[in-house]
Every structure is written in C-alpha cells, then in structure tokens.
Amino acid sequence: MTSKPYSESCERNSAPILQVLQQHLGQARTVLEIGSGTGQHAVHFAAAMPWLRWQASDHCDYLPGIRQWLDEAALPNTPAPLELQAVIGEGLQPLPPLPVHDDVAGFDAVFTANTLHIMGWEQVQALFAGLPSLMAPEGLLVAYGPFNYNGAFTSDSNQHFDGWLKARDPRSGIRDFEAVDALARAQQLELREDVAMPANNRCLVWRRMRG
C-alpha cells in the first residue's frame, strides 16, 4: 500500500481550528467537509467530536488518499468520502445524499479549509451558489484560510504566498473578505464570527438565515 498523503499545514492548524469548531458545533449532527484534501482534518475533527457524522468530500483524484486516512482511523462517524466539485454555472456537483433529521433535509454545517484561495473566483462563486441545496435551515458555514481586508494583505507572508499562488495558477489568490462575505450574504448567510488564527489565517463562521 502506498503511504498516506500528508499535509504539514493540516497537522499544524488542526488544533486551533478544532477550538473554533467545538464552540459552534455542539448541537450539530452532520457536517459536510468540502475539499477534504488529505483527509487529516476529517480524522482529527471526527475523533474529537464523536457526536458528529463527518462527511468528507473532494475531487475524485483525492478520494483514495482520504480513504486511507479514514480506513486507518476506523472511526464510526466518518462515512466513505464523496466526490464533490464546484462547477461553474451549476454550483456543487454531484449533489450528495442529504441527511434528514425531523423531516428536515440538509447538513447542519459545512466546513472548508484552504480552498477558496486555490480555486478560481468563478469556482468560489459556484461553491457559494451551491450551498443552499446542501445546508439545513440555520445551518453553519465555516471557512478557514488567509483573507485580505479592505483590499490589503494582512502580512508580508500572505503577500508572498499570494504571489506564489498566482505564479502557479493566475486564477488563484488570497480572496478579499468583503467579496467572500458578499457571496455569503447573497445566499442568506450571516457572518457570526471572524476569528484570528495562527500564521495570519482566519476562521469565518456564517449562519444560514431562515426565510
């Protein structure tokens, strides 16, 4: 068997992200992770919050590596990872099976880490456009990663990182918080918390508004 994929940044940021998640997910039952990457976050968070059913998802190329992490951990609350992509003009596809609680369908929370600056802006728009079809009423969205504020980088390291991203893929780059929040508000998501994290990252928490 090939060795499991590994991300040093996931290893470093899991503990501080978990602190934020634990403050908001105490009443949640199901979480959809978009862009699970290696699968490290899914294992770490599902083990620490056993009351949650943590559904990992990503592009099909990443699913075998995620399965390795999930299979090795053998946790009862991590089902097999699903293929899921932000598709321009179509939102999030293919639509995963939605959990149903008390006759209400949808995930109680959606989590994504270090994805918005990797995707092109049109894919970011597609991700947000697809959220209403996945989320339960009053569901949460939690997004972790670097963000600019008022059009400015928050650190020299983030500016250098943005340059590295754009050299690799001109469509990528650190997103402006205000632009991302506007996408969220367009989908009836209200910002509840913006938490400063280590290494000049942020953890943003939105809640879906009824009606």
User: Do 205 and 140 touch, CB atoms closer than 8 A?
Assistant: yes
CATH for 73 = 3.40.50.150
pLDDT at site 176:
98
Whether 3 is in a domain gets the answer no
pLDDT tens-digit series, residues 28-50: 999 999 999 999 999 999 999 99
Whether 2 is in a domain gets the answer no
pLDDT at site 211:
63
What domain count does the chain have?
Answer: 1
Q: Which domain holds residue 148?
A: 8-208
Average pLDDT, the chain: 97
Q: Which residue has the tokens 């949650």?
A: 52
pLDDT at site 78:
98
Whether 131 is in a domain gets the answer yes
Measured CA to CA, the distance from residue 158 to residue 148 in angstroms comes to: 9
Of 13, 77, 19, nearest to 40 (Cα)?
Answer: 13
pLDDT band at 25 (very low <50, low <70, confident <90, very high): very high
pTM here is 0.97
pLDDT tens-digit series, residues 55-114: 999 999 999 999 999 999 999 999 999 999 999 999 999 999 999 998 999 999 999 999
Measured CA to CA, the distance from residue 62 to residue 75 in angstroms comes to: 19
